[in-house]
Structure 1
Amino acid sequence: MSPVANPFIRATLAALAFSMVGLGAARAQDAAALRSAHTSLRARLASSPFQRPLVLESSLSSGDLKGEVYAVIEQPFGVVSPALQAAGHWCDLLILHLNVKQCRTAGEPPGQTVSLSVGRKFDQPLSEAYLVRFAYRAPATSNDYLRVQMAADTGPLGTSDYRLALEAVPLDTKSTFLHLSYAYSYGTAALMAMEVYLASMGRDKVGFSVTGKGSDGRPVYIRGVRGVVERNTMRYYLAIESYLGTLSLPPAEQEEKRLRDWFAATERHALQLHELERSEYLAMKHLELQRQHASEPR
Structure 2
Amino acid sequence: MLLAALPALAAPLGAAGLKARYDSLGPQLASNQFGGPLVLQSEEAQRRIDGSVYAVLDHPFAVVTGALVDPAQWCDILILHLNTKYCRRTEANGETVLELRVGRKVEQDVDSASLLRFGWRPPTKTADYFGIQMTAPEGPYGTRDYTLLVEAVPLPGNRTFLRMGYGLAYGTASSIALQLYLGTAGRDKVGFTRQEPGAQGGEDGFVGGMRGVVERNTMRYYLAIDSYLRSLAAPPSERLEKRLASWFDGTEKFPRQLHEVERDEYLQMKRNEVRRQAAAR
Q: Identify whether the pair has TM-score above 0.5, normalized to the shorter chain.
A: yes
1:295 CA drift (Å): 0.9
1:291 CA drift (Å): 0.9
Structure 2 residue aligned with 1:3: none
SS at 1:256 equivalent: helix
**1: distance between equivalents of 2:159 and 2:149?**
20
How do 1:135-154 and structure 2 match up within 5 A? 135-154=119-138
Match for residue 244 of structure 2 among 255, 259, 267: 259
Structure 1 residue aligned with 2:276: 291
**1: distance between equivalents of 2:138 and 2:109?**
21
**2: distance between equivalents of 1:63 and 1:212?**
20
Unaligned residue ranges in structure 1 (runs of 5+): 1-28
What is the aligned-residue identity percentage? 50
Match for residue 63 of structure 2 among 79, 102, 116: 79
Amino acid aligned to 1:33: G
Q: Deviations over 1:142-182 (max 9, x none)?
A: 12110011111100000011110000000114210001110
Q: Deviations over 1:65-85 (max 9, x none)?
A: 111111111111011011111
1:212 CA drift (Å): 4.7
SS at 1:60 equivalent: strand
The question of whether the paired residues in 2 share the 8 Å contact of 1:213 and 1:219 is answered with no
SS at 1:211 equivalent: coil
Decide which moves more: 267-276 or 138-147. Answer: 138-147
Q: Deviations over 1:232-267 (max 9, x none)?
A: 000000000000001111111101110011000000
**1: distance between equivalents of 2:44 and 2:118?**
22
SS at 2:178 equivalent: helix
SS at 1:189 equivalent: helix
Amino acid aligned to 1:112: T
**1: distance between equivalents of 2:232 and 2:222?**
16
1:57 matched to 2:41: yes
1:235 matched to 2:220: yes
Larger Rg over CA atoms: 1
**2: distance between equivalents of 1:139 and 1:247?**
21
1:138 CA drift (Å): 3.1
SS at 1:210 equivalent: coil
Amino acid aligned to 1:208: F
Match for residue 124 of structure 1 among 103, 108, 127: 108
1:102 matched to 2:83: no
SS at 2:231 equivalent: coil
Structure 2 residue aligned with 1:25: none
Q: Deviations over 1:88-113 (max 9, x none)?
A: 111111000010000101239x8311
Unaligned residue ranges in structure 2 (runs of 5+): 1-12
The question of whether the paired residues in 2 share the 8 Å contact of 1:77 and 1:173 is answered with no
1:45 matched to 2:29: yes
**2: distance between equivalents of 1:138 and 1:51?**
34
1:277 matched to 2:262: yes
1:70 matched to 2:54: yes
Structure 2 residue aligned with 1:246: 231
1:213 CA drift (Å): 7.0
The question of whether the paired residues in 1 share the 8 Å contact of 2:69 and 2:123 is answered with no
The question of whether the paired residues in 2 share the 8 Å contact of 1:99 and 1:118 is answered with yes
Amino acid aligned to 2:59: Q
1:139 CA drift (Å): 3.5
Structure 2 residue aligned with 1:11: none
Structure 2 residue aligned with 1:174: 158
**1: distance between equivalents of 2:170 and 2:275?**
33
1:127 CA drift (Å): 1.1
**2: distance between equivalents of 1:160 and 1:111?**
20
**1: distance between equivalents of 2:59 and 2:91?**
30
SS at 1:113 equivalent: strand
Greater fraction of residues in helix = 1
SS at 2:238 equivalent: helix
SS at 2:135 equivalent: strand
Count of matched residue positions in the alignment of Structure 1 and Structure 2: 264
Match for residue 187 of structure 1 among 161, 171, 176: 171
SS at 1:81 equivalent: helix
